[in-house]
Amino acid sequence: MKSFESGSLFLFPTHVTVTNSHEFLKQKNFYVKEIYNQIAIDSDGIQASNDKGYHGKYDQLIHNSIIRNLIDPIIDYNIKNNYGFKDNVSWSYNSIWINLNKPGCSNAPHVHFNSQLSGIFYVKVPLNSGTTRFFNPSLMYPLEGFKLQSFLERSLEYSCYIWNPVEGQLLMFPSTLLHDVNANQSNDERITISFNLNLFCK
């Protein structure tokens, strides 16, 4: 008989929320058309994490009521219900823009500055058009290679976690969480909407 008690303590978890929009799936073509309309207005975009792909200006969709009427309620629900925030916590956009990766395009590893939460809404993600990879905040994490896969699936102690995107899905995560998008290996375009949020107490 053992003469001790032992357990595990998982410190510093990273909170990521996942929401699926049924509204988007019902009217996907309508929203995709609006995205292409916005790209036509700002066809040059800017250079940021994008490797050859399109990255809209950071305020590109701030005043777009069509896109915001789709995304704002999802953000608001998560802020009020899924993060354990105080009742007086509210939010505003720091930025919201479009990403479009043609075949061969990708996004380099990056974090988002001057905000507390960031998010991705998957508009168009053909098969093999690029996964989103999240990197362990403990960048020197040395233990993954020694652990059973069954344990890793429970504990999520990966050095890099690969997220396979689904159209109409919105992810929210801390802005400091390092992430990237691997190369689009499909024959079609991959489209997402990204945003950064500032939190404040009312």
Domain assignment present for residue 103? The answer is: yes
Domain assignment present for residue 12? The answer is: no
Domain assignment present for residue 107? The answer is: yes
Alpha-carbon distance of 59 to 95, in angstroms, equals 5
Domain assignment present for residue 4? The answer is: no
Domain assignment present for residue 67? The answer is: yes
Domain assignment present for residue 75? The answer is: yes
Looking at residue 140, its pLDDT comes to: 66
Instruction: Look up the CATH number of the domain holding residue 124.
Output: 2.60.120.620
Number of domains in the chain: 1
Tens digit of pLDDT at every position of the chain (202 positions): 778 999 888 888 899 999 999 999 999 999 999 999 999 999 999 999 999 999 999 999 999 999 999 999 999 999 999 999 999 999 999 999 999 999 999 999 999 999 999 999 999 999 999 999 999 988 667 888 899 999 989 888 889 999 999 999 999 999 999 999 999 999 999 999 999 999 999 8
Q: Which amino acid is at 195?
A: F
Domain assignment present for residue 158? The answer is: yes
Domain assignment present for residue 11? The answer is: no
Looking at residue 142, its pLDDT comes to: 82
Alpha-carbon distance of 117 to 161, in angstroms, equals 18
Q: Which alpha helices (H) appear in 104-185, and where do they start and end?
A: 149-155
Domain that holds residue 143: 17-201
